[in-house]
Amino acid sequence: MKKWIRRIIGVVSVGFAVLLIWFLYLKGPSFKNVYNSFGDDIPEEYPVMGIDISHYQGEVNWDQLGDMRIDDDSIQFVFIKATEGLSVRDDRKRINAFGARSQEIDYGFYHFFIPTLSASDQADFFCESIGGYNFDLKPVLDIETETTYSKKRLLDSVNVFLNRVEEQLEVRPIIYTYSNFYDNYFSNHSQELFWVAKYSRRCDAMENKNVICWQFSETGTVDGINEKVDLNIAKDNFFEVFSRY
């Protein structure tokens, strides 16, 4: 075969390979990772498992996520970041909500609370951002940032947010926080519902009746998501008490 013909064939082959790689890149979520485990040992005490996500997880292949089954465990709920402070809207909120709905996975939204900003304005911002969605789970106030404020001032601010959201959405939000924050600020708040984060094999807060959900890992692996993801387990009454309706 003449050299110039071999060169043409070589150029065409390289070009085809480049086009194929580009096509696969454009396909995006269809080629997300598939794993052989959830990336961490799942505590056996609680029967319900779910995740929470934001734009940090990037694009999600919801078909793969919805189909994932390992030892009879699957993703049964998802909390989706909606807003932060007074101006940040998570740019994956809408598509993540539609994705969860497409797989019939119960979902809800959370707001990352900034204690130094107006609590009522943050509540308004959050409610305006999620008001058009038919979400299944109660909204969540994510508070994990300590300030120089007194305990009373911080709790007053939290109550303003909770009351304001409840007025507008007719459902009282859940409080998400870390276990130390819960112990320091909320352990006596038996009238609220809690979702507590503690990355260990035990979470003593779950012994309390009003602590329903435990975020036990931040290094989970879930089909359809390339990035690490938070894993959560919950008590068997999760869907009863965390339901929006």
Residues acting as catalytic residues:
52, 144
Give the whole-angstrom CA distance, residue 100 versus residue 228: 18
> Interhelix angle for 151-169 vs 119-130, to 10°?
30
Is residue 36 within 8 Å of 216, Cβ to Cβ?
no
Q: What is the rounded distance in angstroms from the CA atom of residue 191 to the CA atom of residue 184?
A: 16
Closest listed residue to residue 119, CA positions, set 160, 166, 148, 83: 160
Instruction: Judge whether 140 and 110 are in contact, CB under 8 Å.
Output: yes
CA distance 214 to 174: 13
* Closest C-alpha to 75, from 241, 203, 229, 237: 229
Q: Which residue has the tokens 């931040």?
A: 218
Task: Enter the tokens of residue 232.
Answer: 């959560």
Cβ count within 10 A of residue 211: 24
